[in-house]
């Protein structure tokens, strides 16, 4: 196992190198950049001043030269200084990641807690009203645009009933402190988390249902039932254990998707997390921050894949890494 992990980490480093080169090239080839956005429409900026600004921000270099200059800093854990925030990129990510991490992890846990039992129930009750109702709700969640569903929740619970805040992280007028502040933050996160969960649970639920149906129709499950094994043991010990293998793969890939999805959700609810900061960076052409954030997502993707591969050996005793 140790050799396998070391080998995978070495391969991941090579993959990150290729991903970083591709990302940097795409960002640099966009039609506008930070200097163009800042100087647009300002008659007091001369071409010489604009050129000096490009040199100051390192935009006067070619893509390859600029990439290796950026890579040299990354080797020393220096991801550069954000153009628009004038602070080190790693400090900005460290400051705003708690909000996005809280949203993503709470949503992921809730999605798993909802998708697995309801997916198993739908598979057990195949072609019944229960199955149709669960699948219909899952399809509605998948099909609804996040901004549209968020608008409905705001209209009903924030504007109509007035029981939840419409946006933001805290109630600035109340000035809560201590536990009351934590409860206020939690109240503000209810609607964003609801949108996260409803949008994401449908795909995982259908995945669980499909794999559970395949396992329930297997010969060894029918044999266990023929021997008189209780239904709860057939489902829990024989069927669900084998269903976990593909589920682990999907959950591992969902982690970076939750962070990237924060760009939309945080913008809708005016939350100051990595999603909102990244969206502002895209508009401004903030290359250092965009590179740092995208590399963060790339690392999460590789870590999720590695954790999924390791968990295979946990859920399936037949899997062994040498």
Q: What is the pLDDT of residues 207-219, one digit of tens each?
A: 889 888 988 888 8
C-alpha distances (whole Å) from 228 to each of 181, 283, 303 are 55, 63, 42
Measured distance CA(271)–CA(185) in Å, rounded: 11
Residue pLDDT, tens place only, 92-136: 999 988 888 888 889 889 988 999 999 999 998 888 999 999 999
Question: In the block, which residue shows the tokens 């039609």?
Answer: 31
Position with higher pLDDT, 286 vs 2: 286
What confidence tier does 315 reach under pLDDT thresholds 50, 70, 90?
low
- Tell me: pLDDT of 173 over 70: no
pLDDT at 92: 92
Residue pLDDT, tens place only, 234-248: 887 778 877 777 777
How much is the average pLDDT of 208-234?
86
pLDDT at 174: 65
Position with higher pLDDT, 246 vs 301: 301
pLDDT at 132: 93
Cα four-point dihedral sign 17, 95, 262, 205: positive
What confidence tier does 142 reach under pLDDT thresholds 50, 70, 90?
confident
Q: What are phi and psi of 136, to 5 degrees?
A: -65, -45
Give this prediction's pTM. Answer: 0.81
Instruction: Name the DSSP letter for residue 198.
Output: H
pLDDT at 133: 94
Are 197 and 111 spatial neighbours (Cβ–Cβ below 8 Å)? yes
Instruction: Name the DSSP letter for residue 173.
Output: T
Domains of the chain plus CATH, in order, are 90-284 (1.10.3720.10)
How much is the average pLDDT of 62-87?
87
Position with higher pLDDT, 313 vs 67: 67
Position with higher pLDDT, 193 vs 181: 193
- Tell me: pLDDT of 46 over 80: no
How much is the average pLDDT of 244-265?
77
Residue 46's Cβ-count burial label (10 Å; 0-12, 13-18, 19+) is exposed
Average predicted confidence (pLDDT) for the chain: 84
pLDDT at 22: 92
Q: What are phi and psi of 81, to 5 degrees?
A: -110, 130
C-alpha distances (whole Å) from 149 to each of 5, 105, 210, 258, 293 are 41, 21, 26, 17, 27
Share of the chain above pLDDT 70, in %: 95
Are 198 and 144 spatial neighbours (Cβ–Cβ below 8 Å)? yes
Measured distance CA(257)–CA(193) in Å, rounded: 14
């Amino acid at each position: 196992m140790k050799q396998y992990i070391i080998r995978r980490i070495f391969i991941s480093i090579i993959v990150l190198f290729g991903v970083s080169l591709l990302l940097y090239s795409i960002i640099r080839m966009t039609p506008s950049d930070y200097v163009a956005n800042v100087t647009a429409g300002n008659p007091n900026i001369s071409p010489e001043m604009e050129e000096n600004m490009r040199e100051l921000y390192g935009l006067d270099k070619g893509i390859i030269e600029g990439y290796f200059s950026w890579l040299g800093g990354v080797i020393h854990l220096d991801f550069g200084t954000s153009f628009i925030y004038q602070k080190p990129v790693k400090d900005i990510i460290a400051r705003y990641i708690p909000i996005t991490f809280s949203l993503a992890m709470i949503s992921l846990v809730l999605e798993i807690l909802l998708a697995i039992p309801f997916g198993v129930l739908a598979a057990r009750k195949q072609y019944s009203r229960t199955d149709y109702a669960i699948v219909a709700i899952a399809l509605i969640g998948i099909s609804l645009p996040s901004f549209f569903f968020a608008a409905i929740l705001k209209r009903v619970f924030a504007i109509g009933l007035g029981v939840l805040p419409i946006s933001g992280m805290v109630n600035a007028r109340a000035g809560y402190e201590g536990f009351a502040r934590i409860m206020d933050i939690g109240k503000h996160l209810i609607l964003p988390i609801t949108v996260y969960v409803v949008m994401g649970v449908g795909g995982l639920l259908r995945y669980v249902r499909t794999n559970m149906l395949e396992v329930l129709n297997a010969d060894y499950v029918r044999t266990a039932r023929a021997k008189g094994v209780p239904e709860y043991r057939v489902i829990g010990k024989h069927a669900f254990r084998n269903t976990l293998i593909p589920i682990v793969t999907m959950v591992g890939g969902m982690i970076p998707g939750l962070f990237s999805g924060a760009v939309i959700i945080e913008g809708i609810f005016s939350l100051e997390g990595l999603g909102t900061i990244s969206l502002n960076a895209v508009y401004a052409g903030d290359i250092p921050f965009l590179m740092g954030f995208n590399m963060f997502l790339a690392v999460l993707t590789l870590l999720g894949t590695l954790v999924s591969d390791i968990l295979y050996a946990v859920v399936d005793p037949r899997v062994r890494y040498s």
